[in-house]
Every structure is written in structure tokens, then in C-alpha cells.
């Protein structure tokens, strides 16, 4: 019974995680964000290279999603041929901590896998 009061409290956090994942889930989104984030602005073809295995179609679609959610912004430079740059918005930058943690965890994880 005391328990249930506690339960209610946790639901809130679980839902919050769920909300976050609503925007971030998808096979590629977080990798894409990390590419843009670490390079502090990045072009389409560069991201295509950074994110191993992604197709241009998927990249195009995921970038659009992220733009709609105001996490990144798209800037077109009128060169010949056109170049396009993607940057994190201020809002997108608030993900930095999460990205860093994931990168850190990913490195440790890799060690754990190899070491075993």
C-alpha cells in the first residue's frame, strides 16, 4: 500500500523516457544526431559516411523527422552544386549530455564484449 504511492511516482519517469524515445527512436536517429553534434554541423554526404549502413533514402527521411521536431536545422548554401548543412538547434543541443553518456557507455560496452 505504501508501495502504490511509490509506484505512481515512477510511472511519471517511465512515461518521460517514453516521450523522449518518441522523438529519438528509430534505428538511426541517435547516430545521426551524434554525427551532427560532434562535428558541430555536418553535410548530407558526410553524415551518410559517418552513420555506417544508412541509405540516402533513410537519411533523408530521418533528417526530415528531426527537423520537424526542431532538433536540427537545415541550411542550404547556394554553391555549385548546392551544399546543405545540418546543425543542432539550441533545443537539439540539450541532447548533448545524453549523447555523451551513450558514447561513453558504448565504449565500455565494446570493451565488455571484446574482453569476454
Residues near DNA (CB under 7 A) are 26-28, 43-46, 53-58, 60-61, 63-64, 74, 81-85
Minimum CB separation from DNA for residue 79, in Å? 8
Among residues 111, 113, 80, 95, the alpha carbon closest in space to that of 30 is found at: 95
Cell digits for 89? 538547434
Question: Rounded to an integer, what is the distance from CA 83 to the centroid of its chain?
Answer: 22
Annotate each residue in 6-45 with x if it binds a second copy (CB under 8 A) or - if it does not, as one string: -x--xxxxxxxxxxxx-x-xxx--xx--xx--xx------
Cell digits for 16? 518521460
Q: Are the beta carbons of 36 and 42 closer than 8 angstroms?
A: yes
Chain residues in the site for a second copy (CB under 8 A)? 7, 10-21, 23, 25-27, 30-31, 34-35, 38-39, 50-52, 91, 94-95, 97-99, 101-110, 112
Amino acid at each position: 500500500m505504501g508501495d502504490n504511492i511509490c509506484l505512481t511516482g515512477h510511472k511519471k519517469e517511465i512515461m518521460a523516457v517514453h516521450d523522449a524515445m518518441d522523438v529519438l527512436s528509430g534505428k538511426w536517429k541517435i547516430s545521426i544526431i551524434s554525427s551532427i553534434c560532434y562535428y558541430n554541423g555536418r553535410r548530407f554526404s558526410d553524415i551518410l559516411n559517418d552513420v555506417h549502413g544508412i541509405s540516402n533514402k533513410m537519411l533523408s527521411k530521418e533528417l526530415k523527422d528531426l527537423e520537424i521536431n526542431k532538433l536540427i536545422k537545415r541550411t542550404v548554401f547556394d554553391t555549385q552544386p548546392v551544399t546543405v548543412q545540418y546543425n543542432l538547434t539550441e533545443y537539439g543541443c540539450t541532447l548533448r549530455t545524453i549523447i555523451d553518456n551513450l558514447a561513453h557507455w558504448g565504449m565500455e560496452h565494446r570493451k565488455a564484449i571484446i574482453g569476454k
